[in-house]
């Protein structure tokens, strides 16, 4: 679908993510890159970057393209926020009051301390300035947590429409404290990455807002989709990729592997990733006597992850809670079956005994049994399952197709050209989505169909 209308420049979109780039946010980087390939102009804004944990060269290049609200430290952030507040008060006291009221409303039932919501309001003030100066026409946030709140407040300050993508499971751990109904009410639309994610969002959003919920799946690019699956199937090597956090179920995986080791089953597993549970997992490996079979490899670059998956018989992901893990898509696209749990959106991608094995979350016995079946299966079966998984990914997770749908949603709310929607009136100056040249005392109001506006 064309991203430009006749006579207009490329649509300008701002992506706001609290931490970007990050090693676990590769899917956002791919999405931005594909949108830019399709003709959109994307402004990247983040509160902070991934810092020292970044290991991929593409992430490091992306960091150089991203503008950070915390750049210069907290003291400078406070000073810039105060200046932005004063400027917003001069531009539009009404919009500022509306945004401040929404920020205080978000505090009422939140599980987070009130000062954090004041910080989100300060972030929104700075983001609003970036949006206006960058002539942004739409703001998109990933995750329905604090990033979506900042985007919502930015919308109330500027009138620039916004949307956000809900992934899970964080949005569903304490949804009643996240203000999801308000975030959806003010949004132009909301993306969900799986049908399951959409169903959970509908639990907390009034039925009158359901029409805004759109399924836009995470996608893979040519680095995965254009590679033919390797024909050689390793016999006993496994890989697990993911953040070392409580929701991923790694301790259950260690229990399952200890059962297999006790039976004399030959295997090795490379655990790719890092996180708060690393010390506990390192101790668990020692206590179970798995030092020779299990390697804690830390974070790897994208190319290294592809190599690790290609050199494994299967990928194992024993999660307790998920959205729809991108690493499952990556493994299947590379022709490798997966051993996963039937939670959240995973069964939309993985079919038991067709392109992998699905087991109950938290069951070390069932997980051990599935891994045993994977190790015992003939290589021809493993190849066939990998091919079936690759077909499923090509059908559901082509990033070019998914980003065409996303770009169409952005364009649907694009305001009419300024030349057709500008009216002048003495006394005030208001501009939607960007800075327009004007004389002192001249008023420009862009009629966009949105309630917000910026007074200059």
Sign of the Cα torsion 378, 383, 386, 392 reads negative
Q: Is residue 451's pLDDT more than 60?
A: no
Q: What is the dihedral of CA 170, 172, 174, 178, to 10 degrees?
A: 80
Average pLDDT over residues 26-34: 96
Q: H or E segment at 412?
A: helix 399-412
* Helical axes 379-396 vs 326-333, angle rounded to 10°: 120
Q: What is the pLDDT of residue 429?
A: 32
Sorted by sequence, the CB contacts under 8 Å of residue 103 that are 6+ apart come out as 117, 118, 120, 121, 124, 153
Q: Is residue 453's pLDDT more than 90?
A: no
Domains 12-219+400-415 and 223-397 agree in fold: yes
The CATH fold assigned to 12-219+400-415 is Rossmann fold (3.40.50)
- How far is Cα 330 from Cα 349, in angstroms, rounded to an integer? 11
SS3 state at 340:
strand
Q: What is the pLDDT of residue 300?
A: 93
pLDDT tens per residue, range 214-229: 999 999 998 888 888 8
Contact between 330 and 224 (Cβ < 8 Å): yes
Average pLDDT over residues 267-296: 97
Q: What is the pLDDT of residue 50?
A: 65
Sorted by sequence, the CB contacts under 8 Å of residue 143 that are 6+ apart come out as 17, 18, 164, 165, 166, 167, 170, 171
Contact between 188 and 163 (Cβ < 8 Å): yes
DSSP code at position 277: T
Average pLDDT over residues 334-360: 98
The domain spans of the chain are 12-219+400-415, 223-397
Q: What is the CA radius of gyration of the chain?
A: 24
pLDDT tens per residue, range 123-178: 999 999 999 999 999 999 999 999 999 999 999 999 999 999 999 999 998 888 89
CATH of domain 223-397: 3.40.50.2000
Q: Is residue 443's pLDDT more than 50?
A: no
Looking from the CA of 34 toward its CB, the CA atoms found within 13 Å total: 23
Q: Is residue 420's pLDDT more than 60?
A: no
pLDDT tens per residue, range 55-84: 788 999 999 999 999 988 889 999 999 999
Rounded to an integer, what is the distance from CA 436 to the centroid of its chain?
A: 33
- How far is Cα 349 from Cα 356, in angstroms, rounded to an integer? 10
């Amino acid at each position: 679908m064309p991203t430009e209308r006749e006579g207009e420049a490329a649509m300008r979109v701002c992506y706001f993510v609290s931490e970007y780039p990050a090693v676990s946010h590769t899917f956002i980087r791919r999405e931005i890159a594909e949108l830019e390939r399709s003709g959109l102009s994307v402004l990247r804004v983040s509160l902070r970057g991934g810092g020292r944990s970044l290991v991929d060269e593409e992430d490091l290049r992306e960091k150089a393209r991203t503008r950070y609200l915390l750049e210069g430290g907290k003291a400078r952030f406070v000073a810039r926020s105060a200046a932005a507040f004063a400027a917003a008060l001069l531009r539009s006291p009404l919009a500022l009051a509306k945004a401040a009221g929404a920020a205080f409303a978000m505090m009422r039932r939140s599980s987070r301390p009130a000062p954090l919501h004041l910080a989100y309001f300060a972030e929104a003030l700075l983001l609003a300035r970036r949006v206006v100066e960058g002539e942004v026409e739409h703001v998109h946030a990933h995750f329905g947590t604090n990033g979506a709140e900042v985007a919502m407040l930015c919308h109330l300050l500027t009138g620039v429409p916004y949307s956000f993508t809900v992934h899970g499971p964080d949005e569903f751990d304490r949804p009643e404290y996240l203000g999801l109904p308000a975030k959806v009410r003010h949004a132009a639309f909301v993306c969900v990455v799986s049908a399951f994610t959409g169903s959970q969002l509908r639990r907390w959003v009034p039925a009158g807002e359901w029409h805004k919920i759109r399924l836009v799946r995470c996608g893979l690019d040519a680095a995965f989709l254009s590679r033919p699956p390797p024909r050689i199937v390793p016999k006993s090597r496994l890989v697990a990729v993911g953040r070392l956090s409580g929701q991923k179920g790694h301790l259950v995986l260690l229990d399952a592997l200890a059962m297999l080791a006790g039976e004399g089953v030959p295997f090795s597993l490379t655990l790719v990733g890092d996180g708060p549970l690393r010390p506990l997992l390192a101790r668990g490996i020692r206590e179970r006597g798995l030092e020779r079979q299990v390697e804690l490899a830390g974070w790897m670059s994208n190319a290294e992850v592809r190599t690790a998956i290609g050199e494994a018989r299967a990928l194992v992901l024993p999660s307790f809670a998920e959205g729809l893990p991108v690493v499952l898509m990556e493994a299947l696209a590379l022709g490798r079956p997966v051993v996963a749990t039937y939670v959240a959106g995973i069964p939309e991608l993985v079919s038991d005994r067709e392109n992998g094995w699905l087991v109950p979350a938290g069951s070390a016995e069932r997980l051990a049994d599935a891994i045993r079946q994977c190790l015992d299966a003939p290589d021809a079966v493993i190849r066939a399952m990998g091919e079936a998984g690759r077909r499923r990914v090509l059908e559901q997770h082509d990033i070019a197709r998914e980003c065409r749908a996303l770009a169409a949603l952005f364009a649907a709310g694009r305001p009419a050209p300024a030349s057709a929607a500008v009216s002048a009136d003495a006394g005030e100056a208001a501009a939607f989505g960007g800075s327009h040249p004007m004389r002192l005392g001249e008023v420009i109001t862009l009629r966009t169909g949105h309630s917000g506006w910026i007074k200059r």
